[in-house]
């Protein structure tokens, strides 16, 4: 599913201009009122606060744009804490030096002294470092959370698309051949044509009306299998023995069209492979909300590589669809021994 992330139009997780405008704008307002105390801010308070912010911008940017991605995100926690401490001590000292020696050069009309002692400066820097790091991490968490939601949404949509394909998985050749069967019966004016039309109608009705259904009663899936088998019998397969035994508990639900592709595969590669005395044995049962579906058929080995490849692709698609619909709730095995092909599927139907 990792390739699903390419379905998402990724936006930049961090707009540096917006982020810093909001961060330093809010910081200026908060620090201005903290520094001015209970009185209304004066011009010197604005100058002092702006200057103080100036000494914070560089160390904070170092924290969030270098230390965080280089050390913390890569699990180098000790180095991260060491550099944070060094950064704090260095720029806290620069802050004090700036107000003691440099700021009067720029504002010689005012006499500046730091509003705070050394311990308070360190405390302010520590709190500011901590809050800005938490804000940056919160921003990234919010982005990753949104990205995860979009990824899950894209994956869900892809799964729905795949399941829609599964529901429409009756081989197109089946419909084409079905019309040929009806045509042949009509030419021969055989009475079986009425039943064949009804059987095909029931199959198509099932497919159409259950296209958008997530689950359906197991009894309806059984009726679909019966109709499919009865319709296939109209193809005049000589000496063919087809049996369908089923014993299921009532009230169980299953994903629509889940079992039919397996049965269709047996007809396509078994009975229609010109094997002598063809047969298909189908067993369906449930116990403790666990479904067991077994199909065994004989077949004639065909050396055509293209035929084998198509057969392999079909079964692989069935496996992938099972993994989507019933992840970790099914077991699917295939045995091919002495020209007898056996499919064994178990599914836990309990949600």
Last residue of a domain, one of 135, 163, 191: 163
Q: What is the pLDDT of residues 183-216, one digit of tens each?
A: 777 777 666 778 788 878 887 777 766 666 778 8
CA atoms within 13 A on the CB side of 39: 8
In a shared domain, residues 335 and 301: yes
Strand (E) or helix (H) holding 114: none
Calculate ∠ Cα 106-126-29, nearest 5°.
55
In a shared domain, residues 131 and 210: no
In a shared domain, residues 190 and 334: yes
In a shared domain, residues 44 and 179: no
In a shared domain, residues 235 and 304: yes
Confidence of residue 1 (pLDDT cuts 50, 70, 90): very low
In a shared domain, residues 131 and 194: no
Q: What is the pLDDT of residues 283-332, one digit of tens each?
A: 999 999 999 999 998 887 765 554 454 555 567 777 877 888 888 899 99
Last residue of a domain, one of 111, 131, 163: 163
Q: What is the pLDDT of residues 86-141, one digit of tens each?
A: 999 999 999 888 877 777 666 666 555 555 678 888 999 999 999 999 998 988 88
- Which domain CATH number covers 297? 3.30.565.10
In a shared domain, residues 158 and 23: yes
The residue range of the domain holding 260 is: 168-348
**pTM for the whole structure:** 0.53
- Between CA 71 and CA 85 the distance in angstroms is 14
In a shared domain, residues 156 and 196: no
In a shared domain, residues 244 and 131: no
- Between CA 199 and CA 76 the distance in angstroms is 68
Q: What is the pLDDT of residues 31-82, one digit of tens each?
A: 888 887 767 888 878 888 888 899 999 999 999 999 999 999 888 999 999 9
In a shared domain, residues 158 and 184: no
Q: Are strands 241-247 and 279-287 parallel, antiparallel or unpaired?
A: parallel
Using alpha carbons, list the distances in angstroms from residue 273 to 238, 269, 304, 307, 343.
13, 6, 12, 11, 17
Which pLDDT score, from 0 to 100, does residue 248 have? 92
In a shared domain, residues 176 and 272: yes
What's the total number of domains in the chain?
Answer: 2
| Least confident residue range of 160-164, 224-228, 260-264, 279-283 | 160-164
């Amino acid at each position: 599913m990792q390739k699903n992330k390419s379905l998402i139009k990724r936006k930049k997780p961090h707009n540096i201009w917006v982020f810093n405008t909001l961060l330093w704008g809010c910081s200026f307002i908060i620090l201005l009122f903290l520094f001015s105390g209970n009185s209304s801010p004066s011009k010197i308070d604005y100058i002092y606060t702006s200057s103080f912010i100036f000494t914070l911008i560089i160390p904070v940017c170092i924290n969030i744009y270098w230390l965080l991605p280089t050390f913390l995100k890569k699990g180098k926690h000790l180095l991260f804490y060491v550099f944070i401490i060094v950064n704090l001590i260095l720029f806290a000292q620069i802050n004090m030096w700036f107000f003691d020696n440099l700021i009067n050069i720029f504002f010689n009309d005012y006499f500046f002294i730091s509003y705070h002692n050394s311990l308070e400066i360190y405390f302010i820097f520590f709190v500011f470092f901590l809050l800005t790091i938490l804000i940056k991490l919160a921003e990234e968490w919010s982005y990753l959370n949104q990205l995860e939601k979009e990824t899950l949404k894209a994956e869900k949509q892809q799964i729905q698309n795949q399941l829609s394909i599964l529901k429409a998985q009756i081989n197109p050749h089946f419909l084409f051949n079905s019309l040929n069967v009806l045509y042949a019966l009509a030419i021969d004016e055989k009475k079986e044509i009425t039943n064949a039309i009804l059987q095909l109608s029931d199959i198509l009705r099932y497919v159409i009306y259950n296209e958008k259904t997530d689950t359906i009663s197991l009894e309806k899936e059984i009726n679909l299998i019966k109709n499919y088998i009865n319709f296939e019998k109209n193809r005049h397969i000589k000496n063919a023995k087809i049996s369908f035994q089923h014993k299921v508990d009532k009230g169980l639900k299953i994903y629509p069209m889940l079992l039919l592709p397996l049965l269709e595969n047996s007809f396509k590669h078994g009975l229609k492979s010109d094997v002598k005395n063809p047969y298909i044995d189908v067993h369906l049962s449930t116990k403790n909300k666990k479904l067991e579906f077994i199909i065994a058929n004989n077949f004639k080995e065909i050396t055509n590589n293209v035929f084998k490849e198509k057969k392999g692709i079909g079964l692989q698609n069935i496996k992938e669809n099972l993994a989507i619909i019933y992840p970790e709730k099914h077991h699917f095995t295939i045995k091919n021994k002495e020209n007898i092909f056996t499919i064994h599927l178990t599914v836990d139907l309990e949600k």
